[in-house]
Amino acid sequence: MYEHLLRPLDLGWTTLKNRVIMGSMHTNLEEIPGGFERAAVYFAERARGQVGLIVTGGIAPNEQGCVSAMSAMLRSEEELPQHRLITDAVHQEGGKICMQILHTGRYGYHPKIVAPSPIQAPINFFKPKEMEESDILQTIDDYVRCAELAREAGYDGVEIMGSEGYLINQFIVKRTNHRTDAWGGSYENRMHFPIEIVKRTRAALGHDFIIIYRLSMLDLVEEGSTWEEVVTLAKAIEAAGATMINSGIGWHEARIPTIATMVPRKAYAWVTQKLKKEVTIPLIAVNRINTPDVAEEILAEGCADLVSMARPFLADPDIILKTMEGRVNEINTCIACNQACLDHTFQMKISSCLVNPRACHETELQYIPTNHPKRIAVVGAGPAGLAFAHIAAMRGHEVTLYEADGQLGGQFNYAKNIPGKEDYGETIRFYTQMMKKYQVRVLLNHPATVEELLATDYDAIILADGIEPRQLTIEGHDHPKVVSYTEVLSGTVNIGKKAAIIGAGGIGFDVATFLTYKKPDSDAVSAFLKEWGVDKDYLEAGGLKMPEPELPAREIYLLKRSTGKHGATLGKTTGWIHRSHLKAMNVHMLAEVQYLKVDDQGLHISIKGEAKILEVDHVIVCAGQLSSRNIYNALIALGKEPRLIGGADEAKELDAKTAIKQGCTLAANI
Ligand code: FAD
Ligand code: NAP
Ligand code: SF4
Tens of pLDDT, residues 164-218: 999 999 999 999 999 999 999 999 999 999 999 999 999 999 999 999 999 999 9
Residue range 518-525: mean pLDDT, rounded: 93
Report the pLDDT value the prediction gives residue 391, as an integer from 0 to 100.
Answer: 98
- Rounded to the nearest 5 percent, the helix, strand and coil shares of the chain are 35, 20, 45
pLDDT confidence tier of residue 82, bands split at 50, 70 and 90: very high
Residue 70 has pLDDT above 90, yes or no: no
Q: Which ligand is nearest to the CA of 22?
A: 3
Residue 560 has pLDDT above 90, yes or no: yes
Question: What are 115's strand-pairing partners?
Answer: 130
pLDDT confidence tier of residue 653, bands split at 50, 70 and 90: confident
Report the pLDDT value the prediction gives residue 224, as an integer from 0 to 100.
Answer: 97
Provide DSSP, 98-143. EEEE---GGG-BSTT-EESS----TT-SSPPEEPPHHHHHHHHHHH
b/e 334-366 (16+ beta carbons within 10 angstroms → b): bbbbbbbbbbbbbeeebbbbbbbbbbbbbeebe
479: Cβ contacts below 8 Å, ≥ 6 apart: 598, 599, 600, 619
Report the pLDDT value the prediction gives residue 98, as an integer from 0 to 100.
Answer: 98
228-232, 355-359, 479-483, 571-575: which has the minimum mean pLDDT?
571-575
- The rounded Å distance from CA 626 to ligand 1 centre is 12
Radius of gyration in angstroms for the set of CA atoms belonging to the chain, rounded to a whole number:
26
Report the pLDDT value the prediction gives residue 630, as an integer from 0 to 100.
Answer: 86
- In the predicted model, what is the mean pLDDT of the chain? 96
Instruction: Give the C-alpha separation, 376 to 461, whole Å.
Output: 6
Q: Are 249 and 220 in contact (CB under 8 A)?
A: yes
Domains and CATH numbers, the chain: 20-346 (3.20.20.70), 375-468+627-669 (3.40.50.720), 474-517+552-623 (3.50.50.60)
**488 in ligand 3 pocket by Cβ < 6 Å?**
no
pLDDT confidence tier of residue 474, bands split at 50, 70 and 90: very high
pLDDT confidence tier of residue 69, bands split at 50, 70 and 90: confident
Determine the atom of ligand 3 nearest the C-alpha atom of 335: 8
Tens of pLDDT, residues 406-444: 999 999 999 999 999 999 999 999 999 999 999 999 999
- Nearest of 219, 220, 176, 273 to residue 545 by alpha carbon: 220
Determine the atom of ligand 2 nearest the C-alpha atom of 562: 47
Instruction: Indicate the helix (H) or strand (E) that contains 293.
Output: helix 292-300
- Nearest of 4, 95, 521, 9 to residue 294 by alpha carbon: 4
Report the pLDDT value the prediction gives residue 325, as an integer from 0 to 100.
Answer: 97
Report the pLDDT value the prediction gives residue 208, as an integer from 0 to 100.
Answer: 96
Determine the atom of ligand 2 nearest the C-alpha atom of 595: 20
Residue range 495-519: mean pLDDT, rounded: 97
Report the pLDDT value the prediction gives residue 346, as an integer from 0 to 100.
Answer: 86
- The rounded Å distance from CA 502 to ligand 1 centre is 20
Instruction: Give the C-alpha separation, 194 to 219, whole Å.
Output: 16
Q: Are 448 and 402 in contact (CB under 8 A)?
A: yes
Say if residue 477 is exposed, middle or buried (CB neighbours under 10 Å; 0-12, 13-18, 19+).
middle
Tens of pLDDT, residues 526-543: 999 999 999 999 999 999
Helix axes 133-152, 80-92, angle to 10 degrees: 50
Residue 651 has pLDDT above 90, yes or no: no
Tens of pLDDT, residues 109-133: 999 999 999 999 999 999 999 999 9
Residue range 321-335: mean pLDDT, rounded: 98
Atom 44 (ligand 2) nearest CA = 506
Provide DSSP, 447-503. ---HHHHHHTT-SEEEE---EEEPPP-SBTTTSTTEEEHHHHHTT-S---SEEEEE-
Determine the atom of ligand 3 nearest the C-alpha atom of 336: 7
Report the pLDDT value the prediction gives residue 669, as an integer from 0 to 100.
Answer: 97
Ligand 3 pocket: which of 263, 316, 335, 661 to mutate (most atoms <8 Å of CB)?
335
pLDDT confidence tier of residue 654, bands split at 50, 70 and 90: confident
Angle 95-287-546 (CA atoms, 0-180°, nearest 5)? 160
Q: Are 31 and 333 in contact (CB under 8 A)?
A: no
- Nearest of 381, 379, 385, 395 to residue 438 by alpha carbon: 395
- Nearest of 667, 654, 636 to residue 467 by alpha carbon: 654
Cα–Cα distance list, 237 to 60, 186, 192, 224, 665 (Å): 21, 17, 10, 18, 47
Residue 629 has pLDDT above 90, yes or no: no
**571 in ligand 1 pocket by Cβ < 6 Å?**
no
Pairing mode of beta strands 398-402, 375-379:
parallel
- 92 compared with 1, residue with greater pLDDT: 92
Instruction: Give the C-alpha separation, 522 to 548, whole Å.
Output: 13
Ligand 1 pocket: which of 412, 417, 424, 501 to mutate (most atoms <8 Å of CB)?
412
Tens of pLDDT, residues 446-468: 999 999 999 999 999 999 999 99
Catalogue the active-site residues.
166
**320 in ligand 2 pocket by Cβ < 6 Å?**
no
Report the pLDDT value the prediction gives residue 205, as an integer from 0 to 100.
Answer: 97
- The rounded Å distance from CA 337 to ligand 3 centre is 5
- The rounded Å distance from CA 569 to ligand 2 centre is 9
Instruction: Give the C-alpha separation, 296 to 294, whole Å.
Output: 5
- The rounded Å distance from CA 284 to ligand 3 centre is 21
Atom 18 (ligand 2) nearest CA = 623
Sign, CA torsion 89/91/96/99: positive
Tens of pLDDT, residues 235-260: 999 999 999 999 999 999 999 999 99
- Nearest of 282, 215, 280 to residue 244 by alpha carbon: 282
